[in-house]
Amino acid sequence: MAALALATLGACTDDSSRSAKRPATTATATAGKVSGSILDHLRTEPGLATTARLAERAKLADRLGAGGQLTFFAPTDAAWKALGTSKLRQLEGSTDALSGLLDRLVAPTRLTAADLVRLNGKTFDSLGGKVPVAIDGRTLKVDGATVSRTDLMTTNGVIHVIDSVPAQ
């Protein structure tokens, strides 16, 4: 199953000559290097503005903008909105709670989609503890969230976009 998932994820590239032949899958990759750091990308990528704002509020911006090699799982704006206004305000009002949540989204090492596929059924260490990885059919899940875009390579690591905010 991991080989099938790896083949499916590996087939998802930004190569426009193959885009019409790309198999349907939940995760799609954007191959290639993104200019700037993880934080730079969060600030400029449509649909990730809430994550950028919350990372800055939680004092995670310095780490996401610095050197090194990290993996960041970035919830979309829609994922934050799905939490509800009340829950989002509660998180924004508690730096500790927000930091704890966001720390689960950061791995202190670079993990590509292929690395995550090899971790199927296992966990990886994040700044906030152990995070489970699973493949459900052709869908890559991290901490219960579906990975919708993979391998956004930055100068200090890689970003994977997720469709929900992991449970706190």
Quick: pLDDT tens for 45-69. 999 999 999 999 998 988 999 888 9
Looking at domain 2-9+26-162, does it have CATH number 2.30.180.10? Answer: yes
Alpha helices in the chain (DSSP H): 2-10, 38-44, 49-57, 61-65, 77-83, 85-93, 95-103, 113-118
What average pLDDT score do residues 78-100 get? 94
Residue-range domain boundaries for the chain: 2-9+26-162
Backbone angle region of 141, left / alpha / beta, with phi > 0 → left and psi within -120 to 50 → alpha: beta
Global pTM value: 0.81
In 3-state terms, what secondary structure has residue 102?
helix
Q: What mean pLDDT value characterizes the chain?
A: 83
Is residue 160 within 8 Å of 142, Cβ to Cβ?
yes
| pLDDT at position 67 | 85
The C-alpha atoms of residue 81 and residue 107 are separated, in whole angstroms, by 24
Choose the weakest-confidence range: 15-29, 111-125, 126-140: 15-29
The C-alpha atoms of residue 9 and residue 15 are separated, in whole angstroms, by 13
In 3-state terms, what secondary structure has residue 88?
helix
- The alpha carbon of 151 is separated from its chain's Cα centroid by a whole number of angstroms, namely 9
Residue 160, Cβ density class (10 Å: 0-12 exposed, 13-18 middle, ≥19 buried): buried
Is residue 36 within 8 Å of 52, Cβ to Cβ?
no
| pLDDT at position 33 | 55
